[in-house]
Structures are given as C-alpha cells and as structure tokens.
Structure 1
Amino acid sequence: MKDLTALATQYTAAWCSQNAARVAGHAAEHGSLTINGGTPAVGRAAIAESAQSFMTAFPDLVVTMDSLSVHDDKTIYAWTLTGTHTGPGGTGRRVRISGHEEWTFDTDGLIVHSLGFFDAADYQRQLHS
C-alpha cells in the first residue's frame, strides 16, 4: 500500500487541477464513488464525469485536506471545498463546504469504494441565498 498521506495529498492536488482524469486515476479500474447515498459512479470514466461536474460548476474550485485517519479497513479523508459557482447556469455565489470520503483500497493501493458525504442542505443554502 502506498503511503496514505502521500496518496491523499496527490488526490487533493488532483481535485484542484481541474483535471477530472487525475481524480479518477486514484480509483481502481472498476472502483466506485457514491456521494450522499446517490447513484454510484462506477469505473474511472464515470468517476471522472462526476468530478468534472464539480470542476465545471466551480472553475476556481479548491479542495483542502482537513484530516486523514484510518478506522479498521476504512480510510477517512476529510476535506473542505471552496469555489465560486460560475459554471453553466451558475449562481455566482461562493461556497465553502466540508465533508469526508470513506475509502477502501485494493492490493495495488487504488480506491475501490469511496463513500462521500457533505451537508447538501447547507450547500444548497450557500448556492441560493
């Protein structure tokens, strides 16, 4: 397994790069990303598409790593996203949301499952108030 701190630092940089393929490159070929219990994005192409939707909505998106911890077989990556909603149909509002992802890895050190969570009501409030 790769050094988790290095992996999380690279993952954070991938989100800040506006390159969705870099985000997806941290996932196993058939890995999944599920956000707030929604429909999973399965496979690197779907994960890249999910990441791209945030990158398009927030062209100035910045993700920071707040903490990283291991609990049993899960790694908890806590993050904060800031950005201005200026993509297509954007509100022009600046948001700051925090959340976390629960990762499980394969033997190659790639993310097999990522379960992401953030306060969707607070996110919507920031976008529209």
Structure 2
Amino acid sequence: MTDKGRIARLADEYTAAWNSGSAEAVASFYAEDGEIIINRGEPWQGRAGVAEMAAGFFADVPDLKLTCDEVRTAGDHVVYMWTFTGHDAASGNPLTVQGWEEWDLDGALKVKASRGWFDSEDYARQAAGK
C-alpha cells in the first residue's frame, strides 16, 4: 500500500511533532477517530484523546526529546521504534526510555490505531533516581 519513502517522511514528521512540545501537533497524525493504547492501558480515542495523552507526557517530561530509532513497514502496518530523553518533572532525574508504537494507517497515512509499548517499571526507577 505505501512506499517506504513516504513512511520515512511520516516518521520524521511525527518525531518533529513530538519535539515541538505541541500535543495538537502529535494528535494531527491520527485519523479523526484514531486511538492509541499504551502498555495495554485504557485507549485514548480521537484526536482530542491523543492530544490529552501527549500533553500528559509533556507535563511529566517537559524537556522531552524524541528520536526515531527505526521504522519497519508491512503494507499499512508500521512499527515506529523510539527513544526519548529528558528529565522527570517531579524529581528532576534524567530519563532515557525506549519503546515502540505499532500503527495501522489509513489511505491518507493517518494513524487509525496505535499500540504503544515501553518498560514502565524502568521508567519509574529512573524517575525515582534508582
């Protein structure tokens, strides 16, 4: 369905949206009725829900810097592997967190569904300075 060049540009632009600090910019990559579920949690639905999720990360890690480590594609399914760095807002401790999102894209290359994963126990340890 999609060529790798378009997916690479999508990944670059999505990374830039996260690095802009704008929750709305992140949400703009999702279909109107798109959703994200992180670590089997409750879904954030629609662009407003995705913006709420992103705003939560920006509040928790105000200097969040995201890098895209790798992208893999299979038709309209994409795996976006990432690392973010920054400092925990509450403790000030440095964070380096790795994870990935699994996207199902629509014909306009908007995310219909995302399943995100990261080691939340490691995140908590780093935030606590352990």
* Aligned ranges 1:58-97 → 2 under 5 Å: 58-71=61-74, 73-86=76-89, 90-97=90-97
CA distance in 1, matches of 2:111, 2:58: 20
Secondary structure in 2 matching 1:23: helix
Consecutive unaligned residues in structure 2, runs of 5 or more: none
Are 2:28 and 1:36 equivalent residues in the alignment? no
TM-score relative to the length of structure 2: 0.93
Secondary structure in 2 matching 1:91: coil
Higher mean displacement: 112-121 or 69-78 = 69-78
**Which residue does 2:107 correspond to in 1?**
107
* Aligned ranges 1:10-25 → 2 under 5 Å: 10-25=13-28
Q: Summarize deviations over 1:56-101 as a string: whole Å, max 9, x none.
A: 1111100000000013542100000101112xxx111110000000
Consecutive unaligned residues in structure 1, runs of 5 or more: none
CA distance in 1, matches of 2:84, 2:69: 10
Find 1:5's aligned residue among 8, 17, 27: 8
Contact kept in structure 1, 2:15 and 2:68, CA below 8 Å: yes
CA distance in 2, matches of 1:120, 1:85: 13
Distance 1:42 1:101, change over 3 A: same
**Which residue does 2:116 correspond to in 1?**
116
The alignment-based identity, stated in percent, is 40
CA distance in 2, matches of 1:72, 1:45: 27
Q: How many residues align?
A: 126
